[in-house]
Structure 1
Amino acid sequence: MTSSRLAGKTAIVTGGGTGIGRAIAQLFAQEGAEVVVAGRTAAALQQTVEPFGGYVQLCDVTQEAQVDALFADTQKRFGRIDILINNAGASGPVSPLTSVDMGEWRDCIELNLFGALYCMRAAARIMSAQKSGSIVNMSSLMGLKGYPMRTAYCATKFAIIGITEALAREVGPDGVRVNALCPGAISGELMDRVIARRSEAEGKPPEQIIWENYTSVAALQRWVSPEEVAEAALFLASDASASITGDRLKVDAGRF
């Protein structure tokens, strides 16, 4: 069921080739938006837009020039940018801090934090000039609570919350809203890789890792699906949340 809640709007979805990003891009297209899907893997991006004929742009968000080109090209094509789903990111190293690979730690910061910053800055410039827009930053439950062996990821996602609140105050007078989504454990390839690394590091079978850390601790005792996060992103991107800014929304099946 669709309701054309994004009719006439243009959206950029970074990290749109898989998982949450793909689900958001496809839902937004169903709701009437013109969607530009950005990422580093052309084949995955093409699979995302295949059902709705959206636009693909290769972009490594750690490269500021590529980010600026993404936003400039989108603005030139459509005349405006109404929505940014700031989703590109990686899980980072899964290791105790005492033995973590600091190169991997820095790589996580570059992608999850600086990549998100470059996109926020480009979007804020355009949206402030047009006096409207919605930026949805992808934080995490780990942006609200620290988790063992995930120090790099937690650091980036905590930072996203703070930047969201600060930027919301900066651009609010221009009619631009900035909010953060905080998903819990999402079923899919990314979590499969995290669980495999945790299983190896902790010496426990994957099934035990899943039950002890992800499903048994949730009130609903299940994973969250990418499509459920997409529905929350739609709410924050649409006029249904017109008076909400500087906030964070958990989508975590009740992992209090």
Structure 2
Amino acid sequence: MERQVVLITGGASGIGYAAASAWVRNGLRVVISDINVKAGEAAEHALRAESADVRFIPADVSSSSACAGLIAEVMSRHGRLDIAFNNAGIAGPAAKVADCPMDEWRRTIDINLFGIYYCLAAELKAFTAQGHGVAINMASVYGKRGVAGGSAYCASKHAVIGLTKSAALEYGKKGIRINALCPGFIETPLTRGIDSTVPTSTMDALVARSANRRYGSADEIAQAAVWLASDGAAYLNGTAIDVDGGFLAA
């Protein structure tokens, strides 16, 4: 049986790269995509030290045509797509609702929400033709609660969870599973970006409220994604899994 093919958007760094590495170790054929061509090529080179079956395809997920082209290229190269990890995203602006620059608000929604929608829509066409497929959408603990100064990010992630649930209801009967991951505070380039606008003391205080009292690692989220895509999670569909060290339990 041919090895499964997995696509990871935002795969050049952070959680996306950790997930790509984990799936490589599990023997899958891996395609990573990212808007950052230099970082994507470096990631491809590093992952090929573990497997020759790794490809980098640059794409801007905020473009519907780019997302459609990305899925088409994966299908052209491999003839199948078994797992899609729609992971690409940004932190968005740190601003109150009335003060949020409109261009930054739109960019956050374009990447975090429309980027997942565009990819998912194209992936679902491929999955439907095959009769199977697993999509994992990147949400956040802030898709389940609010945070002052982060309305654009919260709005995008709440919407991702709603999209995930609706899509699962529509496509579950076709042998397709669609779930979301809701990470807490994870040590990645994205959170370091947030740290540049949110004081470290504030971030540390939020982490201290969680049950585990620590930041998570990109690999911990990657392992959750690998499991969620596996047959061990075959009965999960339309759900949003918290991988947050107990942050939402507080």
What is the TM-score when the length of structure 1 is the normalising length? 0.92
Output aligned runs, 1:73-92, within 5 Å: 73-92=73-92
Cα distance in 1 for residues equivalent to 2:10 and 2:23? 15
CA distance in 2 between counterparts of 1:47 and 1:141 reads: 30
Q: Distance in 2 between matches of 1:211 and 1:229?
A: 19
Is 1:212 aligned to residue 208 of structure 2? no
> Equivalent residue for 1:13?
8
In structure 1, the residue matched to 2:221 is 229
RMSD: 1.3
Give 2:36's aligned residue: 41
Gaps of 5+ in 1: 1-6, 200-205
Distance (whole Å) between structure 2 residues aligned to residue 185 and residue 25 of structure 1 = 20
| Residue correspondences, number | 243
Q: Which residue of 1 aligns with 2:185?
A: 185
Report which stretch shifted further, 190-199 or 69-78.
190-199
Structure 2 residue runs of 5 or longer lacking an equivalent are none
Contact 1:26 1:48 in 2 (8 A): no
Whole-Å Cα distance in 2 between the matches of residues 173 and 159 of structure 1? 23
Matches within 5 A, 1:108-119: 108-119=108-119
Could you state the TM-score of these two structures normalised by the residue count of structure 2? 0.94
Q: Secondary structure at the match of 2:216?
A: coil
Q: What's the offset of the Cα at 1:83?
A: 0.5
Post-superposition Cα deviations, 1:24-56, rounded to whole Å, max 9, x if no partner, equal 011111101111100111221122222334100
1:35-74 matches, within 5 Å, as 35-49=30-44, 50-52=46-48, 53=52, 54-74=54-74
| SS of aligned partner of 2:196 | helix
Amino acid in the other structure paired with 2:10: G
Does 1:27 find its partner at 2:19? Answer: no
Q: Report what 2:242 is aligned to.
A: 250
Cα distance in 2 between the residues matched to 1:95 and 1:198: 11
